[in-house]
Structure 1
Amino acid sequence: MKVMQLLPELNSGGVERGTVEIAHALVKQGHQSLVVSNGGRLVPQLEAEGSSHISLPIHKKSLSSLWQIRPLRKLIEQHQPDIVHVRSRVPAWLTHFALRGIPAQRRPHLISTVHGFYSVNRYSAIMTQAEKVIAVSDSVVKYITDHYKNCPPEDIIRIYRGIDPKAFPHGYQPSAQWINHQYTLFPQLENKFLICLPGRITRLKGHETLIDLIEQLQPDYPDIHAIVVGGADPKKAAYLDELEATIQNRGLRDKITFVGHTSEIREWLALSDIVLSLSNQAETFGRTALEALSVGTPVIGWNRGGVAEILSSLYPQGLIDVDDREALFSAVKHHIDQPQHVDPVTHFSLDEMCNETIKLYQRVLSENRI
């Protein structure tokens, strides 16, 4: 089987990681894997794991991207994949037009993955116009069925994202050397009860809620300390300054630490006593919440989207009503007063995700074989 996946770029993020993971699984199972994108940091890993990468500028939300239809059609005709799997809207539109120029009997099968709660419009509808549409959670299935009535429910396949339990083993502890190095960089964290908010610095992640929570907790719990794990894009620098000013004005400078962008998310999640998920909008999946639970750190989060599905299944005591600040305060207080145990995570695995996806590819091929 030859599978061609298309996405804008291969830098960082859930879409990119999922693409590389499926590519690796395809190669491991003896299939051929091609990925078309504008390139990025993950290309060397992709190629080292046995896939071929083809660079094509299919990343811009601009009319100029239409110039890529013909080159993309040529690529498809040259490589003759059995399956073309689109993971984003611009590549999906370009593929739609490219395939129209190929005779029906020579066209590959088309699969899409809906990774996000996209704005509801004709531009986004393209993600639901494939033979099979993969949704990354039940919340995404509901989003598609609510907003895109032309997409037959039997064509929507829920395949949860997954993580490698070996990469996030239950009970994982960072090395003493790593911990000591962090305490050298951030001495204020030593001997503290650490409350972690992971994620990029954007208005969506709930940083203001975290600041309010720490302000409310600190009179009774002098040993708490919040860590914000994630970097700020240069475009978000003003928002980071705004957060820093709020923290300063409320006298919380020694209570909240921004550790910046890191590739050591596992270490930070394991070092933390609680991880919070406070996004202002529903997340389609919530991989970081799953990673935290996998290493054994309790997660407290709003009851919506993919995070709610993960918590309902793995750690229901961490679920709280959306935007209920009092419930958040009580839940965190309870976790400080009585440290909680998290059972080992037995599903939402990377193997499950890869196997279900590859089985879907094979099913589409066998159903349509004459």
Structure 2
Amino acid sequence: MKVMQLLPELNSGGVERGTLEIARALIADGHESLVVSNGGRMVAQLEAEGSTHLTLPIHKKALSSLWQIRPLRKLIAQHRPDILHVRSRVPAWLAHFALNGMPANQRPHLISTVHGFYSINRYSQIMTQAEKVIAVSDSVVQYIRDNYRNCPPEDIVRIYRGIDPQAFPHGYQPSAQWLNQTFKDFPELENKFLICLPGRITRLKGHETLIALMQQLHEHYPQLHAVVVGGADPKKAAYLKEMHDSIQAKGLSDKFTFTGHRSDIREWLALSDAVLSLSNQAETFGRTALEALSVGTPVIGWNRGGVAEILSHVYPQGLIAVDDQSALLSAVKQHIDAPPQVAPVSMFSLKDMCDQTLALYKQVSGKD
């Protein structure tokens, strides 16, 4: 089987990681893997793992991207994949036009993955116009059914995103060297009860909720400390300053640590005593929450989207009603007063995700 995946770029993010994971699984199963994107820092890894990368500027939400229809059609005709798998809206539109210009008997089978709760319009509808539409959670299945009636329910296939349990083993402890360096860089973290809010610095992640929570708790729990693990895009500098000003005005400066962008997320999740998921909008999956639970760190999060699906299966005591500040407060208090044990995670594995995706490729292409 020959599979060609299309996405805008290969720099960082869940879509990109998923593309590499499926590419790796294809190679391991003896198939041919091609990826078309505008390139990026993950290309070297993709190629080292046996896939072919084809560079094409299919990343811009601009009319000028239409110039890529013909080059894309040429690539498809040249490589003749059995499956064309689109993972984003601009590449999906370009694939749509490219395939329309090809004889029906020369077109590959088209599969899409809906990774996000996209804005509901004609532009996004393209993601639901494929032979099979992969939804990354039940929440996404519901979103497609509610908003895109043109997509037959039998064409939607729920395949949960997954993580490698060996990369996030239950009971994982950071190395002594890592701990020494971290306590040297951030001495304020030693001997504290750490609550962690992971993710990029954006308004969506719920930092204001964390600040309000710390304001309510810090006097009763002097050992409590908040860690924000994630970097701020230069465009978010004003929001970051706003947060720091708010923390300072409330007299909480010594209760917060901002680590900036980190590539050692596993260590931070394992070091933390509890991880919060407080996004203002539903997340389609909630990978970081799953990674935290996998290493054995409790997660407390709003009951919506993919995070709620993970928590309901793995750690239901961490589920709290959306925006219920008092429920959040009491949940955090309970976790400080009587730290619970998180059972090993047996669902949502990377292997399941890859196996189910490859099975779908084989079914659609008739090569199973």
Shorter-chain TM-score bucket reads over 0.9
Tell me the secondary structure at the aligned position of residue 54 of structure 1.
strand
Q: TM-score, normalised by structure 2?
A: 0.99
| Equivalent in the alignment of 1:61 | 61
| Equivalent in the alignment of 2:254 | 254
String of CA shifts for 1:282-330, please: whole Å, max 9, x gaps. Answer: 0000000000000000000000000000000000000000000000000
Distance in 2 of aligned mates of 1:251 and 1:41: 41
Code of the residue aligned with 2:258 in structure 1: it is: F
| Equivalent in the alignment of 1:155 | 155
* Counterparts of residues 1-370 of structure 1 (less than 5 Å): 1-366=1-366
Tell me the secondary structure at the aligned position of residue 10 of structure 1.
coil
Tell me the secondary structure at the aligned position of residue 254 of structure 1.
helix
Distance in 2 of aligned mates of 1:49 and 1:62: 32
String of CA shifts for 1:87-111, please: whole Å, max 9, x gaps. Answer: 0000000000000111000100000
Distance in 1 of aligned mates of 2:320 and 2:117: 22
Tell me the secondary structure at the aligned position of residue 126 of structure 1.
helix
Distance in 2 of aligned mates of 1:87 and 1:160: 15
Tell me the secondary structure at the aligned position of residue 150 of structure 2.
coil
Distance in 2 of aligned mates of 1:266 and 1:29: 28
Structure 2 portions without partners, runs of 5+: none
Residue 263 (structure 1) shift: 0.5
Distance in 1 of aligned mates of 2:171 and 2:229: 20
Distance in 1 of aligned mates of 2:169 and 2:120: 38
RMSD, aligned CA: 0.8
Distance in 1 of aligned mates of 2:331 and 2:55: 48
Tell me the secondary structure at the aligned position of residue 227 of structure 1.
strand
Residue 347 (structure 1) shift: 1.1
Residue 158 (structure 1) shift: 0.1
Code of the residue aligned with 1:324 in structure 2: it is: D
Code of the residue aligned with 1:38 in structure 2: it is: N
Tell me the secondary structure at the aligned position of residue 333 of structure 1.
helix
Code of the residue aligned with 1:210 in structure 2: it is: L
Tell me the secondary structure at the aligned position of residue 36 of structure 1.
strand
Instruction: Name segments (4+ residues, structure 1) moved above 3 Å.
Output: none
Residue 366 (structure 1) shift: 1.4
Distance in 1 of aligned mates of 2:215 and 2:44: 45
Code of the residue aligned with 2:40 in structure 1: it is: G
Residue 41 (structure 1) shift: 1.0
Percentage of identical aligned residues = 78
Structure 1 portions without partners, runs of 5+: none
Code of the residue aligned with 2:250 in structure 1: it is: R
Tell me the secondary structure at the aligned position of residue 313 of structure 1.
helix
String of CA shifts for 1:90-140, please: whole Å, max 9, x gaps. Answer: 000000000011100010000000000000000000000000000000000
Tell me the secondary structure at the aligned position of residue 4 of structure 1.
strand
Tell me the secondary structure at the aligned position of residue 226 of structure 2.
strand
Code of the residue aligned with 2:134 in structure 1: it is: I
Distance in 1 of aligned mates of 2:213 and 2:296: 23
Q: TM-score, normalised by structure 1?
A: 0.99
Residue 365 (structure 1) shift: 1.2
Distance in 2 of aligned mates of 1:150 and 1:44: 39
Code of the residue aligned with 1:92 in structure 2: it is: A
